[in-house]
Chains A and B, each alone.
Chain A
Amino acid sequence: MELSAIMKDKLNAGDNVVALHEGVLLQGWSPKAHRLLALVERNLSFGLFVFTTSRNPPQAFTDLTINFVVPIDSDFKCDIDSLSAESNSDIYINLSARNFKLFMGMDSGHETNHFFNELSRSMDLYLKNQQTLDFQWLKKYNINDIDLELGLMMNINGDNTSNNIITANMAVAENDISFPTGTQTLSSRESVIQRQMILSEEQYTNAQNFRIYIGTWNVNGQPTLSSLNDWLTCDSEPPDIYAIGFQELDLSKEAFLFNDSPREEEWLQAVTKSLNSKGNYKKVSLVRLVGMMLIVFVKNKHMDHVKNVATDTVGTGIMGKLGNKGGVAVRMDFHNTSLCFVNTHLAAHVEEYERRNQDYQNICSRMVFSNFIPPKTVKDHNQVYWFGDLNYRITEMDAISVKDLVRKNNFKNVLEADQLKQQHRAGNVFKGYKEGSINFLPTYKYDPGTNDWDSSEKNRAPAWCDRILWRGNSIKQLAYRSHPNLLISDHKPVSALFESEVRVVDLTKYRKIHEHIMKKLDKAENEYLPQVMVDNTEIIFHNVKFMEPQLKELTVANTGQVPVQFEFIKKLDDSTYCKEWLRIEPFMSFIDPGEKCDITLEVLIDKKSAYKMISGQDKLYDILVLHLDGGKDIFITVTGNYERSCFGCSLETLCYLKVPIKNIPFGKLMELENNKSNMTSDPYPVPKEVWYLVDHLYRHGLKQEHLFEHSGLRSEFVQIRNWLDNGTPDALPGSVHSVAEALLILLDSTSEPIIPYNLHATCLSAVSYYSQCKQIISQLPERSKNVFLYLCAFLQELLNHVNDNKLDVKTIASVFGEIFIRDPPRSRSDKSGHTRTSMSRKKTNFVYHFLVNDQSDLIINTSF
C-alpha cells in the first residue's frame, strides 16, 4: 500500500495529507532515529504531525504512532540551513512552536523541496486566513508522547534551553572553581570536539604507507655481536620505523632480582650501529624488564609526527612479580594513527601452552599506559605488533619426523602441530591478531655457534618459538623470515617487514571540519540537556570469594538529544571514585544519543582487601556517583556478601581455628581478628593451613625445578582455596607450583606481615648483622616467629636438594624476603626504582642469613 494511503487510514476522516517526508532526528549531530513528518490540512488550517514507525516501510496504519501534533500558526517557525556549500549534502531543519522544538536532518533533493514548499505555502495561508481558522480538529488525536528521543524536546521552554553552566562542586578542588563562569562548559565542549574530530578522521586525513620493521631475538644471555647487519639491514630499502625486541638479554642474578644490566647499553650500541645506513634514525624509546628489551627507532624526518610515547612492563613470574617472563611495550601516536609494539617472553616448557595463554591474557590486562585519561591498554591502538619468544612448541609430532620434514622444506605439515597455530585457531589466544605464513626453519633449538639442531640428550622437536603477529587494518606483511647466520644463541632471530597505512592529517581539510563541528555544537549546546537511563541502580554480588573476580553489567542509555560524557566521580573526603576491591570499566566514556554503553563492574577481593573484610574494617558496600558532564548525578549502590576464607586472616587467628573456616561463624572470626575473643583452647603453633601447604610441598615438591619461581594456575588456586576453607577428606589438589603460590599468597594476604610494619625499618637496617636479625626474630609475636622459623627450616630442607631442583638460595631469599618483610601499604608507590632495588637487596640478605645458618638456638623454645 502507498504510504499516503496508510497515512489516510491513520487520520480522522476529512483530514488530508498534503505532504509527507522522512527525516532523522538530529540529536546533536549523530543521525539515528527516523521520524516521519506529515503536513495535514482540514478546512484550510494545517497541522504538522510527527510519527514514529514500528516497521519500515510501514505496512499498515498500526505501524504508525503519533508523537506530536503542532498547529501551523503564528508560533510555528521553520528554519532551513545547509551547513556546507556542497549541493548534495544534508539539510538541517529547525522546527519550533509552543513547547516544541525539532531539529532534524534530511538529504536535499526533490522530495525535501516539495515538502518544504508545501510547508511554507501552509504558513502563508495561515497569515492570509488567520481570523477564520480553527485548530480544534488537531485536539482529537491521541498522542503518545512517550517518545524517548522526542520527550525532552517537548518539555523544553525558553529557560531550560539557555546555556547551562554547571559547577559540580563535588570533586572539584576549591581553587578550581574559577571565574568567569564557563570554564566547565568549555572543557566538556573541548572533549566533545575532540571526539567528533576522531569520528570524522577519514575526512581530514589521507592514507599514506610506511614501512615498519619488526625484529625479535632470544639471545640466551650471550654477549653482543659486533654486527647485526644480517638481521637488521637485510632489506635494501630502509624502513620508516624499527621495533626490535630481545629476550634473555641478561640471565644474571643481578638482572633477574634487581633489574640492573650492563647488557642494555651494549646491545643498544650494536643495534644502533646495524640499522640500515641509508636511513637516519633516532631512538624513540627503550624499555627493559630483566632480559626483555624493546627499542623503537624512527627515521629522523618523521620525529615531528611521533607523539605521546609511553612504555609499560609486565612481569608474569610467580605472583606476577618476577620479571623472568612477561612483556615490555612501547606505544606512540604516529601522525594520526596509534601504534603499539609489544615484546614478550611467555612461559617456557614444551607442554605448558596453557600457561603461555595465561601469560598472554595477563599481559593484555595488566599492560596499561596510565598517563592517559582514561588509561590505554594494548587493544586501544589502531595497530599492534606483538612479537617475541612466545615459546609455543610442536607437541604432536616426534623430533625425528619434524627434523625430517623441515629439511625438505615441508613446513605446512609441521605447522599443523604448532601449538600457537592450534591455540590461535581455537580462539584461546591472540584473538583478532594475524600471522603471516611461515616459510623458514624452526628458530629453536640450535647448538650455539652452529646451524645444527640441539644435540643434548633431551632431543626435543625443533619449534617456531619466535614469532611476529599483528592486529589492525591495512597492514600488509612484505616479509617474514629468520636469520640463521647469527649463531651465538640457541634461538635464531626473526624479522618481519610491513607496509602499514597511517592516517596523515591534511591541515586545510582539518580546519574546515573543525569549524563545521563547532557550528553544529553551538547549536546543540544551546538546545539540549544530557539525559540518560540506567537499567539498575542496585548491584548485588552474591557469594564473592577470595581472588575470584565477579562481573556485573550495567547499561547506561543516552535518552537525551546530545552526546553525554559520563564519569564516576569521587565523593567528598574520598580519594578514589570506588572502593579498592571494585573496578569499573569504563569509568568514563561518551554515549551518542540513542546509543548505550555497557559498564562492567568487577569485584575482586584480593590480598589488599581480604583482611579488611574478615576484620570488619570494610564490607562489600559502596555507593558510586555516576556524573553526567553538564547534567545530573546518579547514585549506584553496590552490595554483596563475601565468603570467608583463610586467606586474609591473621596467623594468630588461624592458629586458633581447629576446624575449616567455613564452620566458624563470621562474628567469631571478627572477634578473633580484633583480639576481642577469649579463646580457651590452646592454639596450634603454626596455622594448619600453612602446615598443609608446606607438608604437601615437602612430600611432593622437594625435587621440583623452579619451585617458587613459576606462577601457579588460577583454576588450581581456586581448588586449593576451597580445600583449605571447606575441609574435605580428599588429597590437596593442584600442582606443586600452584600450592607454592597459594602458600605465598596466604602469607601475603594477612593484615600484618611476618615482620610487622613497625619493625620494617629496623629490620632493613639490621641486615648486615646476623645477630641483630636473630634478635628481631626472637622478639616477634609467638605465632609469627613460629611460622618464620618453620618456613626457614623447610626452605633449608628444600635447598638441600639443589642438585635436583636447581634452586638458588638467593632467588628463594628474594622471593621470601618480599613476603616476610612486606612494605607498608602507603610506601610502595612513592619509592624510586633505585631505593626499591636497594630495599630488595636488603630483604634478600635478611632472609639469606636464615637459609644458610643453623637456627636450632632459636627453635629451642618452640615445638611444632
Chain B
Amino acid sequence: MRRATDASLPTFGTMSSKASESKMSSSQYSYIFKYIIVGDMGVGKSCLLHQFTEQKFTADCPHTIGVEFGTRIIEVSGKKIKLQIWDTAGQERFRAVTRSYYRGAAGALMVYDITRRSSYNHLSSWLSDTRNLTNPGTVIYLIGNKLDMESNRDVSYEEAKQFADENGLMFLEASAKTGEYVEDAFLKTAQIIYECIQDGRLDLNAADSGVQQKILQCETNPNVEKDKSCMQC
C-alpha cells in the first residue's frame, strides 16, 4: 500500500543533517517556515517531532505540558529552509491556551492515532480550530500515526483518505517509532509551501504568512550603538 497520497509530487533536494553541515551558519538559509503540530493527547505529536529533528524515538515520552519546539534545516529545490516546529499539548484542558499558537503557521500537521478511533473522531474539531486560527494559505497535512501497530488498527486508510479528500487535506500514514514516512510528511508540507511562494499564492508580506525570508547581510556592528543603550542600565 502506498501511503503518501500525492504520488505526482517531485522528489526533494537532499537533507542537510550530515555532519559536514554542522558548521553552517544561520545566514545560509533562505526561508524560515513555521509549523504547528496538533491533535489529541497521546497520538504521538512529540514523538513525530523528535523523530524528525533527532532521528530518535522515546517509548515513554511524557505528556507535553506547554508548547515545545524543534528546528531543522532542509532543502527544497536547492534552497535551504529552516523549519521551526511547534509541538502543542494535546490535553483537552489546554485547548484554550494552545489556540494562541496557531497564528502565523505556514504548515499545520494534524495528527491522529490509527489505533484509537476517538482521536480520529475529534479531527473535525481540530480542523475547525486550524482553519479558524490560521490563514487560508496554511498547508494542512493529516497524519495517521502509529503505522507500526497495524494489528491494532482501528481506523482504515480508506476512511481517513476520504475524510482528507472531502476537506482538501494532504494525508499519509506514518510511524514515529520506526520513522517510516515521517520525513515525507514534514518535507512535502515544506514543498507545497515553497510552491505557493513561487507562484505567488502565499503573500510573504502578510504578517501571519508563517514564512520569513532571510535577508542576508543583516548583521550590524553591535559594538557601535549598543554602548550607549547599556550605559543607562
- Contacts from A to B (Cβ < 8 Å): 75, 98, 155, 157-167, 169-170, 174-175, 177, 179-182, 190, 193-194, 197-198, 307-308, 333, 505, 510-511, 514-515, 518, 526, 537, 571-572, 623, 625-626, 631-635, 637
Known: A158-B17, A623-B97, A632-B69. 5 other contacts (CB 8 A): A167-B104, A177-B207, A514-B226, A623-B93, A631-B69
State the 8 A-B residue pairs at the shortest beta-carbon distance, nearest first: A158-B22, A163-B26, A572-B100, A634-B66, A180-B215, A169-B104, A633-B67, A632-B68
> B72 touching A159 by the CB < 8 A rule?
yes
Minimum Cβ distance to chain A for residue B145 (Å):
21
On whether A165 and B32 interact (CB within 8 A), knowing A174-B207, A514-B230, A572-B99, the answer reads yes
Chief secondary structure at chain B's binding surface = mixed
Residues of A within 8 A of B229 (CB): 190
Minimum Cβ distance to chain A for residue B153 (Å):
32
Residues of A within 8 A of B71 (CB): 159-160, 162, 164
B 191-233 binary contact with A (CB < 8 Å = 1; else 0): 0000000000000000110001111001000110011011111
> B223 touching A162 by the CB < 8 A rule?
no
> A198 touching B231 by the CB < 8 A rule?
no
On whether A75 and B94 interact (CB within 8 A), knowing A160-B71, A162-B24, the answer reads no
Residues of A within 8 A of B66 (CB): 625-626, 632-635
Among B82, B93, B104, B230, which residue has its beta carbon within 8 angstroms of that of A177?
A: B104
Whether B73 sits at the interface, judged by CB under 8 Å, is: yes
> A625 touching B97 by the CB < 8 A rule?
yes
> B226 touching A190 by the CB < 8 A rule?
yes
Minimum Cβ distance to chain B for residue A643 (Å):
24
Name the residue on B nearest A517 (C-beta).
Answer: B230
A261-B26 Cα distance, complex, nearest whole Å: 62
Q: Name the interface residues of B82-107: CB closer than 8 Å to any CB of A.
A: 82, 84, 89, 93-94, 96-97, 99-101, 103-104
Q: Name the interface residues of B56-76: CB closer than 8 Å to any CB of A.
A: 65-73
A167-B84 Cα distance, complex, nearest whole Å: 9
Whether B9 sits at the interface, judged by CB under 8 Å, is: no
> A174 touching B208 by the CB < 8 A rule?
yes
Among A157, A166, A572, which residue has its beta carbon within 8 angstroms of that of B84?
A: A166
> A159 touching B73 by the CB < 8 A rule?
yes
Q: Which of B69, B208, B214 has the most CB of A within 10 A?
A: B69
Between-chain CB contacts (< 8 Å), 14 pairs: A157-B19, A158-B17, A158-B24, A160-B70, A166-B69, A167-B212, A177-B104, A177-B208, A180-B212, A180-B215, A190-B226, A514-B226, A518-B222, A631-B69
> B97 touching A162 by the CB < 8 A rule?
no
On whether A571 and B100 interact (CB within 8 A), knowing A75-B19, A157-B17, the answer reads yes
A276-B232 Cα distance, complex, nearest whole Å: 30
A514-B224 Cα distance, complex, nearest whole Å: 11
Whether B54 sits at the interface, judged by CB under 8 Å, is: yes
Interface range for B? 35 or more
Whether B119 sits at the interface, judged by CB under 8 Å, is: no
> B212 touching A179 by the CB < 8 A rule?
yes
Q: Name the interface residues of B1-36: CB closer than 8 Å to any CB of A.
A: 16-19, 21-26, 32, 34
> A180 touching B214 by the CB < 8 A rule?
yes
Among B19, B24, B96, B207, which residue has its beta carbon within 8 angstroms of that of A175?
A: B207
Residues of A within 8 A of B67 (CB): 632-633
Minimum Cβ distance to chain B for residue A521 (Å):
9
Residues of B within 8 A of A165 (CB): 26, 32, 84, 212
> B233 touching A197 by the CB < 8 A rule?
yes
Residues of A within 8 A of B18 (CB): 158
A166-B68 Cα distance, complex, nearest whole Å: 12
Residues of A within 8 A of B226 (CB): 190, 193, 514
A551-B65 Cα distance, complex, nearest whole Å: 23
Name the residue on B nearest A172 (C-beta).
Answer: B104
Name the residue on B nearest A522 (C-beta).
Answer: B222
Among A160, A510, A634, which residue has its beta carbon within 8 angstroms of that of B53?
A: A160
Name the residue on B nearest A178 (C-beta).
Answer: B207
Minimum Cβ distance to chain A for residue B55 (Å):
9
A169-B223 Cα distance, complex, nearest whole Å: 29
Minimum Cβ distance to chain B for residue A268 (Å):
28
Minimum Cβ distance to chain A for residue B90 (Å):
12
A450-B72 Cα distance, complex, nearest whole Å: 83
Q: Which of B97, B223, B226, B231 has the most CB of A within 10 A?
A: B97
Residues of A within 8 A of B104 (CB): 167, 169, 177
Name the residue on A nearest B67 (C-beta).
Answer: A633
A572-B97 Cα distance, complex, nearest whole Å: 8
Minimum Cβ distance to chain A for residue B50 (Å):
10
> B34 touching A511 by the CB < 8 A rule?
no
Among B54, B218, B232, which residue has its beta carbon within 8 angstroms of that of A307?
A: B232
Residues of A within 8 A of B222 (CB): 518
Name the residue on B nearest A174 (C-beta).
Answer: B207
A469-B114 Cα distance, complex, nearest whole Å: 71
Among B22, B212, B215, B230, which residue has its beta carbon within 8 angstroms of that of A157?
A: B22
A124-B229 Cα distance, complex, nearest whole Å: 48
Residues of A within 8 A of B231 (CB): 505, 510
Among B21, B96, B215, B230, which residue has its beta carbon within 8 angstroms of that of A179?
A: B215
Q: Which of A518, A572, A623, A626 has the most CB of B within 10 A?
A: A572
Name the residue on B nearest A171 (C-beta).
Answer: B100
A194-B96 Cα distance, complex, nearest whole Å: 36
> B233 touching A635 by the CB < 8 A rule?
no
> A158 touching B68 by the CB < 8 A rule?
no
Residues of A within 8 A of B34 (CB): 167, 169
Minimum Cβ distance to chain A for residue B22 (Å):
3
Minimum Cβ distance to chain B for residue A568 (Å):
12
Name the residue on A nearest B72 (C-beta).
Answer: A159
> B100 touching A170 by the CB < 8 A rule?
yes
Minimum Cβ distance to chain A for residue B143 (Å):
21
A167-B103 Cα distance, complex, nearest whole Å: 11
> A170 touching B101 by the CB < 8 A rule?
yes
Minimum Cβ distance to chain B for residue A175 (Å):
7
Among A175, A180, A197, which residue has its beta carbon within 8 angstroms of that of B218?
A: A180
> B223 touching A518 by the CB < 8 A rule?
yes
Minimum Cβ distance to chain A for residue B96 (Å):
8
> A514 touching B68 by the CB < 8 A rule?
no
Minimum Cβ distance to chain A for residue B14 (Å):
14
> B94 touching A635 by the CB < 8 A rule?
yes
> A181 touching B233 by the CB < 8 A rule?
no
